Amino acid sequence: MISFASWNSPWQPSDHNSTNPVVSRQALILLAFLALIWGSTWPIMKIAVLAFEPWTFRAYCGVLGGLGMLLVLKLIGQRITLPTDQLRLALLVAPFSLGGWFVFSALGVGLMGSGRAAIIAYTMPLWAIVFARLILQEPITPARTAGLLAGLAGLGVLLSHDFTRISDQPLGIVYMLCAAIVWGLGTVFFKRATWREPVAVIVAWQLLGLGLPVTFIALLTETPLPDADAMAWLALAFNIVFSTVVGYVLWNRIVLLMPAGVAAIASLVVPVTGVLMGAMLLHEAVGWREMTALGLVLGAILLVMKEQPRLKGTSI
């Protein structure tokens, strides 16, 4: 049972309606990088999970991602240990901020198309806004409501030609909805905690904390070294380095730069970016659905970006 009695929000209510142009630019730049990385992750993850079983795939991401991040931090002179209370807090939050997503998304994307899985996963803002209201007492403002509706409408437009194919994959839908709900809850928990250490160090220990039990399950139930081709290993390496390590550091940094509900709505740019990148890289058609969805999601982000608070000095 997780107790939040000793957790303090990293931003104060009095800052909620303040504006800070520097933070706004920083958040937007980080969001742009995250959209490119996570937008390209879905088709690449599909390649990996077709070759590696789900628990094995996430074991590699967790253990190698965590160790690799700590090694890089050590090489650049960063202290990589955490005080006991920070380590305990990181491991308590990890099953929600990383673990549920790790497991459910890997299971779900193996059962359905990567694009459809991504769109279902990004119902996350709906759950994050509800949890942020219940746990952080973040207001559900008219701007956030309008932004959420606009963003979800954009995803609905993307999905409008594919409802029949999704209904044929009920277990995949269940897994991806679970991934979205736990991710939304984990976003709020990460925001609720008081972090005194750099985000990269926190995420590295969270990855290791999750990677060890996942590796144990993988060794008991799956084949740790499958007969995978070079493309599958490259897809795995991309997911470890970019999607897991870089992506989660960027995402958690964004969560600390703005209210959890605002960050969740801003994340809706990721699946739209994925569709557009698929068009550029795989020559997939881009039509009115894609352009309408992009417009709705960008509008959603513009609606909520003015509500972000001032940064409270947590380093990346």
> Could you tell me the sign of the dihedral formed by the alpha carbons of 309, 20, 155, 178, in that order?
negative
pLDDT digits (tens, 9 = 90+) for 28-75: 788 889 888 988 887 787 788 888 988 899 899 999 999 999 999 999
Residue 26's pLDDT is 79
DSSP H or E stretch at residue 35? helix 21-51
pLDDT at 101 exceeding the cut of 80:
yes
Burial class (CB in 10 A: 0-12, 13-18, 19+), 251: buried
Both tokens assigned to 181: 């709900």
Q: Tell me how far apart the alpha carbons of residues 246 and 61 are, in angstroms, rounded to a whole number.
A: 12
**Cβ count within 10 A of residue 261:** 30
Residue 113's pLDDT is 63
Q: Tell me how far apart the alpha carbons of residues 192 and 96 are, in angstroms, rounded to a whole number.
A: 12
pLDDT digits (tens, 9 = 90+) for 182-210: 988 998 999 899 999 999 999 999 999 99
Residue 8's pLDDT is 39
Residue 103's pLDDT is 83
Look at 11 and 146; give whichever has higher pLDDT.
Answer: 146
pLDDT digits (tens, 9 = 90+) for 50-62: 889 888 998 999 9
DSSP summary character for residue 5:
T
pLDDT at 15 exceeding the cut of 60:
no
Distances (CA, A) of 279 to 37, 263, 284: 15, 26, 4
User: Which of the residue ranges 152-156, 182-186, 220-224, 274-278 has the most confident prediction, judged by mean pLDDT?
Assistant: 182-186
pLDDT at 236 exceeding the cut of 90:
yes
Among the listed residues 14, 92, 9, 43, the one whose alpha carbon sits nearest the alpha carbon of residue 275: 43
Beta strands in 57-208 (DSSP E): none
* Mean pLDDT, the chain, integer: 78
Among the listed residues 129, 183, 171, the one whose alpha carbon sits nearest the alpha carbon of residue 152: 129
The three-class DSSP label of residue 313 is coil
Q: How confident is the model at residue 311 (pLDDT cuts 50, 70, 90)?
A: very low
**Cβ contact 135:295 at 8 Å:** no
Residue 32's pLDDT is 85
Q: Tell me how far apart the alpha carbons of residues 121 and 158 are, in angstroms, rounded to a whole number.
A: 13
**Torsion angles phi and psi, residue 37, rounded to 5:** -70, -55
Predicted model pTM: 0.76
Domains of the chain, by residue range, sit at 25-305
**Torsion angles phi and psi, residue 179, rounded to 5:** -60, -45
Average pLDDT over residues 99-126: 76
Q: How confident is the model at residue 222 (pLDDT cuts 50, 70, 90)?
A: confident
User: Which of the residue ranges 134-138, 164-168, 202-206, 308-312 has the most confident prediction, judged by mean pLDDT?
Assistant: 202-206
Residue 11's pLDDT is 32
**Cβ contact 278:115 at 8 Å:** yes
